[in-house]
């Protein structure tokens, strides 16, 4: 079974509008972390936001917020006031276990966001 | 913020030659680094986890003798693609873990596009 599911292969949003990118996850761990990364056409991976499974508040970082619904196992990314520079591939990722060794991430298949004028 | 430098950013090589990719953490010590591979328009797939001073842990299906990983210091990990073939052409990206700031934050290098002729 997929551990991270991003059901939207592509999304369009108009400049200055808000957009929600969906992410659901599957884990039996009680402790885990959820991440969102942005990958522009240049290929680099840019960290956007992090949510720990025990965090009571939804994470926010500037225009990015994470709508964390633990019971539904969803961690949707909300981008407010979209800008043309937000056009990129967005990946949701999960790390199972908050402490310990490898901290390896499992990535979703990504959502390509296109911001239009 | 933490920076991970990856070099080279792109490389073209002949089939049968070996290619070395370097990943450096510039302003922090990375006890663990990760190597990913990404095919066009697909997600990142973890290849191996590299721990300083010990042998790398490879994911299932990744050939250890083909993808040699060395993590000789706390700031440097290298991936060597040995006897490269056209099917090894891909985008390779490393990441390093730091404990500074929020627990579990990973920083990525800018990636290396490998083209094997």
What are the tens digits of pLDDT across the range B20-37? 999 999 888 887 889 999
Nearest to B91 among A43, A107, A110 (CB): A43
Chain A CB within 8 Å of residue B110 CB: yes
Mutate to test the interface with B, among A48, A105, A108, A109 (most CBs of B within 10 A): A105
Nearest to B104 among A45, A50, A106 (CB): A50
What integer best gives the mean pLDDT of chain B?
Answer: 87
Per-residue pLDDT, B105: 64
Reported as a single tens digit per residue, the pLDDT across B45-83 is: 999 988 877 889 999 999 999 999 988 888 999 999 999
Rounded to the nearest angstrom, the minimum Cα separation between B108 and chain A is 6
More confident residue, A44 or B103: A44
**Mean pLDDT computed over A43-54:** 89
Per-residue pLDDT, B31: 78
**Residues B94 and A24 sit within 8 Å (Cβ to Cβ):** no
Neighbours of B32 (CB within 10 A): 21
Rounded to the nearest angstrom, the minimum Cα separation between A82 and chain B is 22
**Mean pLDDT computed over A74-94:** 96
Flag if A43 and B113 touch (Cβ within 8 Å). Answer: yes
Per-residue pLDDT, B1: 59
Per-residue pLDDT, B104: 52
Q: Are strands A24-25 and A4-5 parallel, antiparallel or unpaired?
A: antiparallel
Q: Is the pLDDT of residue B101 over 50?
A: no
**Residues A88 and A10 sit within 8 Å (Cβ to Cβ):** no
Q: Cβ neighbours of residue B63 under 8 Å, at least 6 residues apart?
A: none
Q: Cβ neighbours of residue A95 under 8 Å, at least 6 residues apart?
A: A32, A33, A35, A103, A104, A105, A106, B104
Tokens 């990375």 belong to B30
Per-residue pLDDT, A111: 96
Nearest to B102 among A42, A50, A101 (CB): A50
* DSSP H/E element including A13: strand A10-14
**3-class SS at B104?**
coil
Bond into B85 cis (ω within 30): no
Q: Cβ neighbours of residue A85 under 8 Å, at least 6 residues apart?
A: A115
């Amino acid at each position: 079974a997929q551990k991270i599911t991003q059901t939207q292969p592509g999304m369009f949003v108009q400049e200055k509008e808000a957009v929600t990118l969906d992410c659901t996850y599957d884990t039996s761990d009680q402790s885990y972390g959820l991440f969102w990364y942005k990958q522009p056409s240049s290929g680099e991976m840019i960290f956007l936001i992090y949510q720990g499974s025990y965090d009571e508040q939804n994470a926010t970082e500037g225009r990015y917020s994470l709508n964390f619904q633990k019971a539904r196992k969803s961690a949707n990314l909300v981008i407010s006031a979209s800008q043309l520079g937000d056009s990129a591939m967005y990946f949701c990722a999960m790390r199972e276990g908050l402490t310990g060794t490898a901290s390896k991430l499992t990535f979703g298949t990504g959502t390509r966001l296109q911001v239009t004028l | 913020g933490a920076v991970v430098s990856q070099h080279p950013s792109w490389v073209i090589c002949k089939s049968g030659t070996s290619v070395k990719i370097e990943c450096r953490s510039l302003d922090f010590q990375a006890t663990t680094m990760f190597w990913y591979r990404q095919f066009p328009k697909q997600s990142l797939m973890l290849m191996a986890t590299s721990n300083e001073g010990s042998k790398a842990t490879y994911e299932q299906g990744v050939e250890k003798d083909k993808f040699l990983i060395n993590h000789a210091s706390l700031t440097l990990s290298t991936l060597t693609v040995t006897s490269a073939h056209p099917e090894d052409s891909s985008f390779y990206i490393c990441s390093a873990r730091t404990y500074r700031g929020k627990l579990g934050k990973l920083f990525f290098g800018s990636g290396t596009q490998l083209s094997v002729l």
